Amino acid sequence: MRRTGVWLLGAHGNVATTAMVGARAIAAEEVGTGGLVTAQDPCHRLDLPPIEGFVFGGHDVSATTVSSTARMLSERATIPPEIVKAVDEDLERIEERIETGTAINCGRAIEDRVERAFSERNVSDTVARLREEYRAFVTEQNVDRLVVVNVSSTEPPLSDPGRYDTVSSVERAVADDDRDLPASSLYAYAALLDGYPYINFTPSTGASLGGLKALARRKNVPHMGRDGKTGETLLKSALAPMFARRNLRVRSWEGHNILGNADGRVLEDEANEAGKLASKSGVLDGILDEEFHNRVRIDYTPPLGDWKTAWDDIRFSGFLDTPMKMQFTWEGSDSILAAPLVLDLIRLIVHADEHGEGGLQPQLASFFKSPLGVDEHDLSRQFGMLTNYVNRYEGIDD
């Protein structure tokens, strides 16, 4: 069985924990594959690396453990307690492979919550240390391949990202100890340098810098991002095309999200929230031509725990300019929605890597709120891009 190394940035968080618990529970045949896109047609026609062969490790800046996050989630009606119990030994083994991370330039809201973090003399040493940690994991765990996945808290948007538009500008910034490069980009840089595929499941900067995209192309390493499309935005990308194709003109689309997990707490900080909001509201602008009132709110409501409620109010006009409306609520567990997509992305990016597909991976657009390099936001057409990819490889894998 192919062994796939999975290096999770934010390994103690809810999404990472749920992904690891789920992967081990699937391996133990404790649960089915509900929620996994790769478990069904069309993706199951590809020869994807088995989830059973995933070997987990990662970084985190919190002092908790995967086990205790898992228990906390099971108390909040997210993961069934018997499943946590069934994989608890696995989680303890994984814990030994989770290293202390760094939180450089992650914004005050995250930095204030850092419980442990390494600090090297300069950026250059930080990158060297990350590379060394990736390499050590690959060797010790004897994995065939390593995928680095960012599922840590949202950083504030980077101002003037254009200054890192070339590989050399990034290299120079690292050499010059430029303290503006955020942690997410350093993790990505270290990964790409040594040919490890990189997935950015968050709105953070990651590998979205021009210089890192160029590096990925040069090294022919697949990478993709950003910001996993799990709930309200997923619905927007499914519903907005209906309005557009039926010539029903949207006048206002108000989205109000309340959530109670750590992600919500970080987004209380306006700087960190900015990136998220841009990513959430951009989808509609990408589908609807008309001018309309487009607002997204994200509020932290502690009693909801890991659960998230989105309420959207959509006003539109149709024939004879008659005003009409639609409202919806979506209530799901953030981690439960995100975790299977993380596992899907790992399997699919390994497939791309195995077939020499470097650079951005547009066939993965349906997984992201802001798919890098893809203008298409219509969910159905994004799914079509994935199907086309599968069709292209059908017969080749065998």
Residues numbered 344-383 forming contacts with its own copies, rule: CB under 8 A: 366, 378-381, 383
Give 79 or 186: the residue with its C-beta nearer to its own copies: 79
Out of 50, 161, 195, 241, point to the residue binding its own copies (CB under 8 A). Answer: 241
When asked if residue 92 is in the footprint of its own copies (CB under 8 A), the reply is no
Q: Does 333 bind its own copies (CB under 8 A)?
A: yes
**Per-residue exposure over 98-128, b if at least 16 CB sit within 10 Å of its own CB, e if not:** bbbbbbbbbbebbeeebeebbeeeebeebbe
Does the protein bind its own copies through residue 286 (CB under 8 A)? no
Q: Is cis: bond before 226, omega within 30 of 0? A: yes
Beta carbon nearer to its own copies, 289 or 398: 289
CB of 65 to its own copies, least distance (A): 20
Do the beta carbons of residue 224 and residue 357 sit within 8 Å? no
Task: Round to whole Å and give the CA distance between 144 and 397.
Answer: 18
Site for its own copies in 293-322 (CB under 8 A): 293, 295, 297, 299, 301-304, 309, 311, 313, 315, 317-322
Residue 325, classed as helix, strand or coil, is strand
Q: Is 123 in the site for its own copies (CB under 8 A)?
A: no
Alpha helices in 226-361 (DSSP H): 232-245, 262-267, 270-287, 334-354
CB of 390 vs its own copies, minimal distance in Å:
12
3-class SS of residue 301 = coil
For its own copies, the closer CB: 114 or 235: 235
Binding residues for its own copies restricted to 21-40, rule: CB under 8 A: 21-22, 25, 31-37, 39-40
Question: Which 32-91 positions form the footprint of its own copies (CB under 8 A)?
Answer: 32-37, 39-40, 77-81, 83
Is residue 326 a contact residue for its own copies (CB under 8 A)?
yes
Using the minimum distance from each CB to its own copies, give the nearer residue, 220 or 329: 329
Strands 222-224 and 249-259: unpaired
Residue 320: enclosing H or E segment and its boundaries?
none
Is residue 257 within 8 Å of 299, Cβ to Cβ? yes
Which residue in the set 239, 288, 364, 372 belongs to the binding site for its own copies (CB under 8 A)?
Answer: 239
Q: How many residues bind its own copies (CB under 8 A)?
A: 75
328 binds its own copies (CB under 8 A): yes
**Is 337 a residue that touches its own copies (CB under 8 A)?**
yes
324 forms part of the interface with its own copies (CB under 8 A): yes
Beta carbons of 167 and 217 less than 8 angstroms apart:
no
**Nearest alpha carbon to residue 200 among 384, 4, 369:** 369
Cβ atoms within 10 Å of 162's Cβ, excluding its own: 10
For the bound state, the minimum distance from the C-beta of residue 31 to its own copies, rounded and expressed in Å, comes to 5
Where residue 10 falls (left for φ over 0; alpha for ψ -120 to 50; beta otherwise) is: left
* Strand, helix or coil for residue 268: coil
Q: Does 251 bind its own copies (CB under 8 A)?
A: yes
In the window 208-237, what residues touch its own copies (CB under 8 A)?
234-235
Measured from the CB atom, the residue of 161 and 286 that comes closer to its own copies is 286
